[in-house]
Amino acid sequence: MGFLAPLFLALGLGAAVPLLIHLLRRRTGVRIEFPAARYLARAEQEHSRRLKLRNLLLMMLRVLAVTCIALAAAQPVSGTLGRLVGAGHAPAAIGIVLDNSLSTSVIANGRPVLDRLKAIAVRAARGATVGDRVWLVTADGRTQGGTAAAVASAIVRTEPLSGAGDLPRAAAAAAGLVRSAGVADPVVAIVTDGQATAWSGMTDLGGVRVVIYAPAEPGPANRAVVAAAARPARWTPRGEVTATVQGTVPPGGSDSTTYRIGLGVRTLARGTVAVTPIGDERTARDRLAAGVGAISVHAAPPERGWVGGSVEIEADELRGDDTRYFAMWIGEPPAVASDSSAGPFIRSAVDALVANDRATTGAAGQGSRAIAIVAADHLTSLPALIVPPSDPVRMGAANRALERSGVPWRFGGVQRGEATIDGIESASPIGAAADTGGRAAPVTASLAYAMVAQGSAPADTLARSANKPWAVAGPGYVLIASPIDPVSTSLPLRAVFVPWIGDLLAQRLVGAGGGLGGAGNGVLESEPGETLRRPAGAEELEAPDGAVRVLSGATIDAPARPGVYFLRRAGGRVGALVVNPPPRESDLTRLATQTLATRFRGRSVLAGTDGEEWARAVFDAHAARPLARIFLVAALVALLAESLLTRRAVMRSSGGMTATRRAA
């Protein structure tokens, strides 16, 4: 037997008071012979044995009452004895971790899995007593504490997330709460669908008891759009929408589903995509296998500016992953003014882009300037694609021109020796120019100038050579470290050269939204609720319903609802934040309970598939139970017995005195 409040055992010292009173009760005084008192003495002698027994019994009852009260105040608990005579359970601290990630919104047997999980979690919350401390922690880390009724109400109100949340972190938070309660039995009670991707690693919860519920049946089949993108992210005005559909296919077969690609408020394309098995064909014949299908649609839509789109497939039991969003900027082909100082290879690339309607020559429309492609010493204005001068003697003039134009970089010393350039690629090759052989050959630099940043202006490093910046971009400029000629770099001889120049013009130097620091091509990808760095220059966030909120601080908390949210500056759209659920939430594979139990480390770990047994296990049937009520009842019985015995003695004494008076 143990005590939850052993300091109260000091009250047991009060049991010595009745004992001392009993021992010190002695008659004192002068012996006087009084004839009438002889009758009383004779009566007392006749009843002395009875009186001694009565007084001893009264003392024992009073000592017992005081001792039981002291023991009850110390809150005794016991295992074996508690299970025999105890009631309820010892005070416990219970952290209920409720899995409300996207995967729990799947419909199984006509109702969402989350509804089933909530009903089971409520059992544990309502089984708590006044002496228990209870918390609810959901997959997104939100915590609700309070009375059992308040926590049960919070469980009922819980809604599914649009993303995965972080269940291991939620479990760790619950463990921290119950450990801080200072009770003998801290418990983390986890209610989850057992999704394998959610519990992929080991979760150490310290010295707490862990009780886990997960469904016994396997996860249902599911189809999902796990990827969707506009390639490139900035169309001028042509581009491609690509998407990947993931699902399960029957043994030895395939599956298909219809899709719709929306752009803004209209439909861009419709079709059917086949989902075919991946991996071992023999395995696919034996059971349901994972499959994928690819969607690709080329278009030149009439919309202009920043536009949001979506790829949708037929609805199934998990609706939250049937739609995936993307964003792009659509504009006219960039107007380019190529200066002879940039060299003949640049001029040839521009001619190829113009021939393929990816660029135009002459003045730009709508009041914007044409993009200058120029050597740094001839730079007069932005936007510009800037290369070093071919004559090193002109490097001083080049740096002065960069300073006048507001480009926060300067050319430093020359670096010689062949080095591979990392980061030279293109998302939109032009026809046969992007043959496999050309792409396989590395791009190298034999001569490059060191590039020295000035200040802390926002900039992106597009390519590196010898682990140093080789191509950098910022608001209105792209700066390259090598002259574009075969003597300085192999880039003009590679098939990727023309597409790469085209992407620099379209993705970095044209249209609204260029130069958002940290946003690359102007598109940020995020999961619901994720925290990410706010791009420099982004002042507001526009929701799909048109609501606008002001951004402040260095970070952005992504909205909880998937969709396309536009970044704004000075009242106009300058980029997009695309919020989608993580693809791993579409994999509904579940862990067996034995395997799930191995994912946790605690004082003890128990996993099961029966909700009632799980709720009982939260209040451990083998744990110590409180005995305070038993001792309080014993104290009450002792006091009642003492009161009855005292009253009877008084009545006897009164009757005896009356008889003596009559005899006298």
206 and 270 inside one domain? no
614 domain residue, yes or no: yes
Least confident of 145-149, 265-269, 622-626: 622-626
Domain count, the chain: 5
Share above pLDDT 90 across residues of the chain, in percent, rounded to a whole number = 55
Of 312, 331, 350, the one marking the end of a domain is 331
396 and 438 inside one domain? yes
381 domain residue, yes or no: yes
Using DSSP, state whether 549 is helix, strand or coil: strand
Please tell me the predicted confidence (pLDDT) of residue 616: 87
* Residue 200 tokens, joined: 């992929």
546 and 490 inside one domain? no
pLDDT band with cut points at 50, 70 and 90 for residue 425: low
pLDDT reading at 436 higher than 50: no
280 domain residue, yes or no: yes
492 and 391 inside one domain? yes
539 and 490 inside one domain? no
558 domain residue, yes or no: yes
pLDDT band with cut points at 50, 70 and 90 for residue 286: very low
Stretch 44-68: mean pLDDT, rounded? 70
3-state secondary structure 594-639: HHHHCCEECCEEEEECCHHHHHHHHCCCCCCEECHHHHHHHHHHHH
Please tell me the predicted confidence (pLDDT) of residue 353: 92
Measured distance CA(52)–CA(326) in Å, rounded: 96
517 domain residue, yes or no: no
pLDDT reading at 40 higher than 90: no
Which burial class, exposed, middle or buried, applies to 24 when counting CB atoms under 10 A from its CB (0-12, 13-18, 19+)? exposed
pLDDT digits (tens, 9 = 90+) for 510-535: 754 444 554 556 899 999 999 999 98
Please tell me the predicted confidence (pLDDT) of residue 91: 74
Please tell me the predicted confidence (pLDDT) of residue 440: 52
Of 272, 302, 331, the one marking the end of a domain is 331
Average pLDDT of the chain is 83
pLDDT digits (tens, 9 = 90+) for 573-597: 989 999 999 999 999 999 999 999 9
Predicted TM-score (pTM) of this structure = 0.72
Please tell me the predicted confidence (pLDDT) of residue 437: 39
13 and 43 inside one domain? yes
pLDDT digits (tens, 9 = 90+) for 358-371: 889 866 544 467 89
Q: When comparing pLDDT for 70 and 246, which is higher?
A: 246
Of 458, 478, 508, the one marking the end of a domain is 508
Q: When comparing pLDDT for 646 and 438, which is higher?
A: 646
658 domain residue, yes or no: yes
Q: When comparing pLDDT for 628 and 344, which is higher?
A: 344
Q: Are 500 and 463 in contact (CB under 8 A)?
A: no
pLDDT digits (tens, 9 = 90+) for 306-342: 999 999 999 999 999 999 999 999 988 889 999 999 9
Q: When comparing pLDDT for 129 and 457, which is higher?
A: 129
339 and 465 inside one domain? yes
590 domain residue, yes or no: no
pLDDT reading at 1 higher than 50: yes
Q: What's the CATH number where 301 sits?
A: 2.60.40.10
pLDDT reading at 161 higher than 80: yes
476 and 493 inside one domain? yes
pLDDT band with cut points at 50, 70 and 90 for residue 84: very low
Q: What's the CATH number where 431 sits?
A: 3.40.50
> For 476-570, where are the alpha helices, taking DSSP H only?
497-503
pLDDT reading at 70 higher than 60: yes
479 and 374 inside one domain? yes
Stretch 386-404: mean pLDDT, rounded? 94
289 and 374 inside one domain? no
575 domain residue, yes or no: yes
606 and 618 inside one domain? yes
- Beta-carbon contacts of 56 under 8 Å, excluding residues fewer than 6 positions away, are 22
pLDDT reading at 48 higher than 70: no
Stretch 99-103: mean pLDDT, rounded? 97
Least confident of 10-24, 84-98, 286-300, 411-425: 10-24
pLDDT reading at 281 higher than 50: no
Please tell me the predicted confidence (pLDDT) of residue 181: 87
Please tell me the predicted confidence (pLDDT) of residue 635: 72
pLDDT reading at 430 higher than 50: no
Q: When comparing pLDDT for 182 and 119, which is higher?
A: 119
255 and 347 inside one domain? no
Least confident of 80-94, 498-512, 568-582, 588-602: 80-94
Using DSSP, state whether 12 is helix, strand or coil: helix
Please tell me the predicted confidence (pLDDT) of residue 579: 97
Please spell the DSSP secondary structure of 410-459, one letter per residue: EEEEEEEEEEEEE----SS--GGGG-HHHHHSPPEEEEEEEEEE-TT---
pLDDT band with cut points at 50, 70 and 90 for residue 108: very high
Q: Which residue has the tokens 């630099």?
A: 445
Please tell me the predicted confidence (pLDDT) of residue 7: 58
Q: When comparing pLDDT for 459 and 603, which is higher?
A: 603
Least confident of 245-249, 255-259, 619-623: 619-623
Share above pLDDT 70 across residues of the chain, in percent, rounded to a whole number = 78
pLDDT digits (tens, 9 = 90+) for 553-572: 999 999 999 999 999 988 88
Please tell me the predicted confidence (pLDDT) of residue 152: 95
Domain hosting residue 544, numbered range: 523-579
Q: Which of 522, 401, 377 is nearest to 458 (CA)?
A: 522
* Residues forming beta bridges with residue 328, ordered by sequence position: 307
